[in-house]
Amino acid sequence: MLTRVDHIGIACTDLNQAIQFHRNAYGFEVCYREINDEQGVDEAMLRINGTDDGHATYLQLLSPTRPNSPVGKFLASRGEGVHHIAFGTPDVDAAAAAFLDRGMRVLFTPPRPAAMGSRATFLHPSECGGVLVELVTHT
């Protein structure tokens, strides 16, 4: 059902500064950037490597465009750092249904459009050992 780590989301206050850090420290380059008005974030995807299923693993840097966005609230309460981990799946709808069948809270049913043309939903942190988990399918 889950095939790989798709990305790790990192909340940051200054997206350009975070991009520069990851470029200088690790040599990662931005392969995709967008403002997601619905979620209130400016985001950048930095490709780390390819994977066996033909996709890749990324770091997703997230900076809020408004203080009341989910990432803005996260930064206000916890500061900069890891926001979520995302697992790739060939079928996000089926994966979400399987987690619902296990009694877990799925935040978006049906899954929503997400970065780079993907579709995604989240599992509530209270169901996942305190970690916000994203399920993502690239279309």
User: Does residue 1 surpass a pLDDT of 80?
Assistant: yes
User: Does residue 131 surpass a pLDDT of 80?
Assistant: yes
User: Does residue 37 surpass a pLDDT of 90?
Assistant: yes
Domains (range + CATH), the chain: 4-138 (3.10.180.10)
Q: What is the mean pLDDT of the chain?
A: 94
Percent of the chain at pLDDT > 90 equals 89
Whole-model pTM? 0.91
| Residues in CB range of 122: below 8 A, 6 or more apart | 84, 106, 107, 108, 132, 133, 134, 135
User: Does residue 32 surpass a pLDDT of 90?
Assistant: yes
User: Does residue 19 surpass a pLDDT of 90?
Assistant: yes
User: Does residue 119 surpass a pLDDT of 90?
Assistant: yes
Q: What is the pLDDT of residues 52-98, one digit of tens each?
A: 667 789 999 999 999 999 999 999 999 999 999 999 999 999 999 99
Predicted local distance difference test score (pLDDT) of residue 139: 81
Predicted local distance difference test score (pLDDT) of residue 85: 98
φ/ψ of 77, rounded to 5, equals: -95, -30
Of 47, 44, 39, nearest to 18 (Cα)? 44
Cα(44)–Cα(90) distance, rounded to whole angstroms? 23
